[in-house]
Amino acid sequence: MQMKSMEFTVGLFVVAGLLALAMLALKVGNIHVLGAGQTYAVTADFNNIGSLKSKAPVTVAGVRVGEVAAITVDPITYRAVVTLDILKKYRFPRDSSASIVTAGLLGEQYVSLSPGGSRHDLKNGGKIRITQSAIVLEQIISQLLYSKAGHS
């Protein structure tokens, strides 16, 4: 009888370890379950999205309020169209702006929202019109080097 309780305890420990490993994998993989039906989608157009990826966080004042659902290219303007899934419990004015920023110097990129002052909120299928594209470090360095070479 004592052997069965020992096997049960070891089995329980193994299951707990597997669950902890799964949670760690989800956290490291930046996978968050927002829950279907609990979000509304808005889009924003950018000239350059840098290395922004699907499932990247959408934040306001450092608080996660959603995630990037999809990234496509507009066939007419050739701008990147980023679809953002925002949690329904957060409402933002229609004149809010979206910027692609980087966490730290070389960290991952995410979308940061800055609320506007409009009395009307963004609705499902709405569009954020004021955007700021990603700052690409390589372009800044090459411009700096080019400007220095031109003055030599």
The pLDDT tens digits for 138-148 are 777 777 787 77
For residue 144, the model assigns a pLDDT of: 78
Compute the 3-state secondary structure of the chain and give helix, strand, coil in percent, each to the nearest 5: 25, 35, 40
Q: Model-level pTM greater than 0.85?
A: no
- Comparing 20-24, 25-29, 39-43, 57-61, which segment has the lowest mean pLDDT? 25-29
For residue 6, the model assigns a pLDDT of: 83
Q: Provide the residue ranges of all domains of the chain, joining segments of one domain with +.
A: 1-31, 39-142
H/E element, 145:
helix 137-150
Per-residue pLDDT at 91 exceeds 60: yes
